[in-house]
Amino acid sequence: MKSSPRTLAGLFALLAACHVEMATAASFCRWVTSAGSMTFRLNAGSVYVPRDAAAGHVIGEFDRSFAVPNAEGQSIHCENDIGSTLTFNAMATAPLFPGDLPPVNGEDVNGKVFMTGIDGIGARIKLEHPFDGMAADAFVPITEPTVPFNALLRAELPAAAPLRIDQLRGKLTLIKTGPIAPGPHTFDQALFGTRFSNLGNGFGFQLSGTVLQAQCGISSVSANPVSLGDWRTSDFGAVGSTTDAMPFNITLGNCDADPGDINVAWANIRLEPTNGSMPIPGVEGGFTLGAGSGASGVGIQILKADGLTPIALQREVPLAAISPGTTVLDLNARLYQTDPRVDAGTVKGSLNFTVSFH
């Protein structure tokens, strides 16, 4: 028997290995130069605040704009694909003022004022582009761009046009938070740091400057006692009639004031009757005769420089903006008829005055 050949058929499969690369989302911030950190240092210069200003008063200029480069010459680039989100965090490194402050120019600043290391001097920082959400390629703050705050960026930032961060723009407001000791005060304080997506530490912010208090030193009265002149009883007609106003002044010396008139301090005067003199009810700026007087039926009235406007007693009244060097406060005084009958005699009255600066 013949054997029939058997056919052995072999099959094999040729399999092609395909390597498919999936596109990864580009959503990160990175150092363009060397990895590390960068610091923005702002020098506020010399700024003034009236010596007796209340807490919440602006020191220097409100929302003073700044734009500063970083000290290290570094740069951060951020790229982002549609559908991805980058994060930014501005975190306090200096303590925030723990007390309550009144609104500053109508804005609530509580929880947003840094302590500078000098008692009574605080700082508020607002950041601008690219952290204020005002442009298409900006981080959008979750609340407002007042440090400390967090922000998100969802806009597309291709590698060809990344967001570049190498300078810092913002607004600075120095705020009086409480009593400030006498003398000039210089501060240099790190206030906050930052973090970016995939980057960790970003940049820090350092603020320096000198705060001076606007005030004057010695004071002198042009004439003490002030002469009110000699008058006949017939010069008076009825209750409310007055004599001519007699000018005098108080000179304030050694005045330290803002030469740029950015934060103007006003000299305020408070007049307190003394030595037997008392306020005359219903007569603004009027006070009774005091010890040593022989006349009756008249009192004395204090007026501003115009010789017409009375100066209220027992409260602070602004008179003039102080200037560097010497400031003169011009005043007037006159007799004021208080009774239908006026009797001749010596007229004497006394006031204590206190000058404050607001």
Q: Does residue 204 contact residue 194 with C-beta atoms inside 8 Å?
A: yes
**pLDDT at position 38:** 93
Question: Residue 278 sits in a domain of what CATH number?
Answer: 2.60.40.1090
Question: Residue 67 sits in a domain of what CATH number?
Answer: 2.60.40.3310
- 196 shares a domain with 168: yes
Least Cα distance to 221 among 350, 358, 53 occurs for: 350
- Please give the Cα distance from 127 to 114 (Å, whole number): 14
* pLDDT, tens digit (0-9, with 9 covering 90-100), for 121-159: 999 999 999 999 999 999 999 999 999 999 999 999 999
What average pLDDT does this structure show over 10-33?
58
Residue 113 lies in a domain: yes
- Please give the Cα distance from 130 to 120 (Å, whole number): 31
* pLDDT, tens digit (0-9, with 9 covering 90-100), for 182-236: 999 999 999 999 999 888 889 999 999 999 999 999 789 998 999 999 999 999 9
Number of domains the chain is built from: 2
Q: How far is CA 343 from CA 158, 236, 286, 296, in A?
A: 94, 10, 18, 5
Residue 139 lies in a domain: yes
Residue 114 tokens, joined: 């840094």
Residue 205 lies in a domain: yes
Q: End of a domain among 166, 199, 214?
A: 214
- 224 shares a domain with 210: no
Q: How far is CA 76 from CA 86, 148, 158, 205, in A?
A: 13, 20, 15, 15
- 263 shares a domain with 147: no
Residue 22 lies in a domain: no
- 206 shares a domain with 190: yes
- 226 shares a domain with 208: no
- 154 shares a domain with 88: yes
Range of the domain at 278: 219-357
CA 174 to chain centroid: 4
pTM of the model: 0.86
What average pLDDT does this structure show over 92-104?
97
* pLDDT, tens digit (0-9, with 9 covering 90-100), for 75-84: 999 999 999 9
Pairing type for strands 325-337 and 246-255 reads: antiparallel
Residue 4 lies in a domain: no
- 204 shares a domain with 228: no
Residue 264 lies in a domain: yes
Pairing type for strands 28-31 and 114-115 reads: unpaired
- Please give the Cα distance from 67 to 128 (Å, whole number): 9
Q: How far is CA 154 from CA 53, 87, 147, in A?
A: 44, 9, 21
Residue 323 tokens, joined: 């200037």
Residue 268 lies in a domain: yes
Measure the N-to-C terminal CA separation of the chain; round to a whole number of Å. 131
